[in-house]
Amino acid sequence: MKKEFKCIVCNKVLPVNYFHSHRGMKDGHVARCKKCCWQRTTPSEKLVWLRYRAARRKEGKENDITWEEWMSNFWRDECPYFFIKFKKVEWDDSMYLNDGRKWEAARPYVGTKGKGRGSTSGLRDTVPSIDRIDSTKGYSKDNIEIVSWRWNNCKSDMSTQEMFHIGKYGAIKLGYKWPPEPEERRK
């Protein structure tokens, strides 16, 4: 078995562990090195827009937001509720190897802590997500907003009453009077 392969993108001859394994390939590995695969990844804003389009198609509806409209009216760089900046992970050569054998990348969509690809720790909280403002309605331009995965996950697990109690707790902890006076509510 070959110990080194040549990447078809960067033309570097690299050790076999610098390539993803793939049972469907003749030599058992992908032809691009892991770094070139990583750099080929689509930016977050484009992926979220494509997810929105897929959700519309699944509902049997046409896409109602153009790319330009998405970037100017919907896309933001942080969660409006948790103020978490959406992170873009840059390639680092240390991502090639983990203890000399196995490669684990700090992918923006999967946490690096915990076990397996489905780990929810690490960077996953900083990933942008499409939230339906009214969950009883479908995906449409007047019923979505871009939030962090963490907010969307919390919102799906909590009732409105539970969210209210968390807000009450936060207000009291910060020294605000609860319930707020009528003039404070308008601010």
Tell me if 100 sits within 8 A of 136, measured CB to CB. Answer: no
Question: Does residue 185 lie within any of the structural domains?
Answer: no
Contacts of 103 (CB under 8 A, 6+ apart): 17, 18, 20, 34, 95, 96, 97
Q: What is the mean pLDDT of the chain?
A: 76
Q: Are residues 22 and 81 in the same domain?
A: no
Question: Does residue 95 lie within any of the structural domains?
Answer: no
What is the domain count for the chain?
A: 2
Q: Are residues 35 and 3 in the same domain?
A: yes
Q: Are residues 82 and 2 in the same domain?
A: no
Q: Are residues 35 and 2 in the same domain?
A: yes
DSSP state of 16: G
Q: Are residues 47 and 5 in the same domain?
A: no
Q: Are residues 174 and 145 in the same domain?
A: yes
In tens, the pLDDT along 42-72 reads 567 877 888 888 888 889 999 899 889 988 8
- Mapped onto helix, strand or coil, the DSSP state of residue 125 is helix
Residue 17's domain comprises 1-40
In DSSP terms, which residues pair with 178 in a beta bridge? none
Q: Length of the chain, please?
A: 187
In tens, the pLDDT along 83-140 reads 888 876 555 554 444 433 333 433 444 434 444 444 444 567 788 888 998 888 989 9
Contacts of 47 (CB under 8 A, 6+ apart): none
Q: How much is the pLDDT for 145? A: 92
Question: Does residue 112 lie within any of the structural domains?
Answer: no
Q: Are residues 132 and 68 in the same domain?
A: yes
